Amino acid sequence: MEILQKNKSQSSLHEAIEQIKRAFSRPFDPDQQERLLLYFSLLHQWNKSINLTGIKEPELLVYKHLGDTLLFDRAIPPKASNLLDIGTGAGIPGLLLKILRPNLNVVLAEAVKKKCSFLRYVISVLDLSDIHIEEKRLEANKPPEHMPAPGFDVIVSQAAGSLKWLLNLSLPLLKQKGTIIAIKGPAVADELSELEENVKQLGLSVKVAKDRLPILDHTRMIIHIIKEEKSQPMKKNP
């Protein structure tokens, strides 16, 4: 990996990672620590010329994006072996989850070419394996090329669309007993209401947990949509 030059933003990123680590009581090994610092350094650098995220301050990049990713990490079943991140943008949370869970096979779906260029560069620099980029907008007739045979264990999305949209897109890609996980803000009641009829018809289960993003103290609603063994397939529109 590239050798990082010490500067003000590097120091800010390093301290922010340490703060998040303490807030979550989540240890990182030296390799993860180095990769996280390099990832956020590259994100901060590229974000000056390409709109990868609306957050510009180095510390806030870490507080928001690493913090939300660690909330996803806590929600993902420990035995999950493969994961799809829909609308990953700059690799959040999928690429960061790969750093946190090196044995996880990850597919990143992103339609914006410039963001995919960033993802490819970062994956190369961080020397990550078993992580694939799907440069396209996923649709019912355009599933991921790197989709595992039985479907994905976990499908995640960070603010890529509504829960109903996410369910319609994800369910055919999910294996039995697989889980869709989304993180939303506190005003998610209307989206959950839209799901009620689909959930009952398809035999799905939905779990909602309230949490808080440390340091920034933002409310987060962790949504689990679980595809039980009795779940019915989605009906295709005529």
Answer whether residue 5 shows pLDDT above 70: no
- pLDDT on residue 3: 41
| pLDDT > 90: percent of the chain | 79
10 CB-contact burial (10 Å; exposed 0-12 / middle 13-18 / buried 19+): middle
- pLDDT on residue 37: 97
Cβ(93)–Cβ(155) under 8 Å?
A: no
CA distances 116 to 29, 122, 166, 178, Å, are 27, 10, 21, 26
33 CB-contact burial (10 Å; exposed 0-12 / middle 13-18 / buried 19+): middle
Answer whether residue 236 shows pLDDT above 50: no
Mean pLDDT of all residues belonging to the chain: 91
Cβ(167)–Cβ(200) under 8 Å?
A: no
Answer whether residue 231 shows pLDDT above 60: no
Q: 99-141 pLDDT, tens per residue?
A: 999 999 999 999 999 999 999 999 999 999 999 999 999 987 7
Answer whether residue 234 shows pLDDT above 80: no
4: which 2 tokens?
A: 């990082």
Residue 6: pLDDT band with limits 50, 70, 90: low
Q: What are phi and psi of 5, to 5 degrees?
A: -85, 135
Q: 71-102 pLDDT, tens per residue?
A: 999 999 999 999 999 999 999 999 999 999 99
Q: What are phi and psi of 206, to 5 degrees?
A: -125, 130
Q: 173-226 pLDDT, tens per residue?
A: 999 999 999 999 998 999 999 898 888 889 899 999 999 999 999 999 999 999
Structural domains in the chain plus CATH codes: 8-226 (3.40.50.150)
